[in-house]
Amino acid sequence: MTTIAIPKLDRIGLIGGLLCIDNKQGVVVPFRFNKLQSYFNRNKSSRNIILKYRQGGCSSSILADMFIDCITTMNTQCAVVSHETRSTQRLLDRVQFFYDTMDEPKPELGAESRSEKSFPTMHSSIYVGTAGSRAFGHGDTIRKALLSEMAYYEDGEKLLNGVEDAVPITGELTIECTPNGEDNVFYERWVRAREGKSPYKPFFFPWWLAEDYRIPYGSELALPEDRYELKFTSDEEELVRLHGVTEDQIRWRRWKIGEKLGLFWQEYPEDEVSCFITVGDPVFDQLRLTELAQGCYSGIMHPGGWQYWLQPQEKVRYILAADSAAGAPTGSYSAAVVLDDHWNVCATYQARVDPSTFAGVLKQMGLWYNSAELAIERNFTGYAVLAALVGGHNLDIQGINMSNYPNVHRQHDFLTGKVTANLGWWTNEQTKEHMRTSFREVLPFIKLWDINLVRQLRSYRFIKAKPTAQTFDDLAIALQIACAVKKLGSGSQGFMGKIQGWDW
């Protein structure tokens, strides 16, 4: 038998024509893809990571795709791993169901196995197992692999590393999970994918994509007070405005929140930040951060390397705050944010670069934003960044002349307001608390659109009474510095040099 190449769209149609599935009502029907399944299968890449709502059918569609590969492509080896024995058995039963409900003629099925379905004439098979039951790695070659509900694995990092080695770059590896807090490998891989720092393509699927998550007007299934016309709350109005959620869907949402309480936002996520419920009390207002997360979108990438949402405007003053790092491949990031007079975060930058390169980015970024007041955390590598910006008269870094930057922030005495001779922002326990306090006060007025920045702010938790970030917080530190500097209202005293066109 020869291999049959099937385009993506034809493959979706082929699955619907060949395979059946039992729906949530227990009725056997042709396997027609829903919105989630169709979108993912049309847009997936060689490495994928999916953050999703419960019972969306994601694993079933991927399993069907693997099944089609096994019966149409010679020497195809696929693997599916789940977090518990019961889930694993359901997945294996699903493969058997696909086979049993196919019309004749159908391919030969190999000998019965507790963990594998094989197709001898095609020399193909699908392995379905529980995390930890098999070690993957050198010697294995897997065409397609699915790690289902990976946040619940006991040793997810080890298993993932083995599977990544077994699936070649021309193969397909997908990780999918509902949220389960931040202390696991799935969350770490999700954040890296969303920041564009891994080969995994991120897919976020909120609950309202499900066609059946709705309760109609007048239904006895609704909560008694919700059976007829609804009066929306402010967050419900936002869902309607931003995502086109219907009254029937809001009725279902209220019923489900009544059932799940606070876990609703974990099991049925509405944004990719608030769904990761974590331990510890939040440092910053979570409701406000959730509002900000729901309005986030990708900005425009400037040739200089930063992402921006608002371009510089004439006669507007800007603060450019920065947190620097050494640029080590696995270390902290150098990060910067631009804040305008109206508390808008206009632009952000985050990368692992050395201090001199970061200085060049900051100069270019600052000059673009009307010679923004540049407030650099001067601790550690910050000294090197400041030296390049202030002392590099004849220094050229990546085509940028590093003559004196005209508007560098100087440290203030918080009690007297006096401007000192020290350049930059010094961070210690006292100034950190001042930064956090300043940010909490202005958070209601802040507008921002960078989801990574929201994620970092949300990660701050009180652990043993101490504010602690649960992930990299470089962007969050930069924003807190910017807010603290803006509240200080530095004025011309804090500037080095004079800005042409301004009477400061």
For residue 390, the model assigns a pLDDT of 81
Q: Are residues 28 and 129 in the same domain?
A: yes
Q: Are 307 and 299 a contacting pair, CB within 8 Å?
A: yes
Residues 180 and 314 in one domain: no
Q: Is residue 251 assigned to a domain?
A: no
- The Cα 89–Cα 288 span in angstroms is 42
pLDDT of residue 400: 57
pLDDT at 9: 58
Q: Which residues contact 382 (CB under 8 A, 6 or more apart)?
A: 322, 324, 376, 424
Range of the domain at 413: 281-494
Among the listed residues 172, 196, 200, 170, the one whose alpha carbon sits nearest the alpha carbon of residue 185: 200
Residue type, 114: R
- CATH code assigned at 458: 3.30.420.240
Q: Domain containing 108 — which CATH number?
A: 3.40.50.300
**Overall number of domains in the chain:** 2
Domain final residue pick, 205, 229, 257 = 205
Pick from 167, 184, 205: which residue ends a domain?
A: 205
- Residue 76 sits in the same domain as residue 186: yes
Q: Average pLDDT for consecutive 10-residue bins of the chain (504 residues)?
A: 56 89 86 93 95 91 94 92 86 90 88 86 91 75 92 86 91 93 86 88 95 93 92 88 94 92 86 74 84 89 96 95 88 92 96 92 95 91 87 56 80 72 83 89 95 87 70 90 84 38 37
Note whether 201 and 49 are within 8 A (CB): yes
Contact (CB, 8 A) for 345 and 446: yes
The closest alpha carbon to 473, from 455, 493, 461, belongs to 455
Q: How far apart are CA 394 and CA 384, in angstroms?
A: 16
Are 201 and 289 members of one domain?
no
- Give the length of the chain: 504
Structure tokens at 13: 């149609």
Residue 213 lies in a domain: no
Q: Are 422 and 411 in contact (CB under 8 A)?
A: yes
pLDDT on residue 8: 59
Compute the CA torsion angle 68, 71, 76, 80 (nearest 10 deg).
50
Boundary (domain end) residue, out of 185, 205, 225:
205
In a domain, 335, yes or no: yes
Same domain, 184 and 292: no
Peptide bond into 107 cis (omega under 30): no
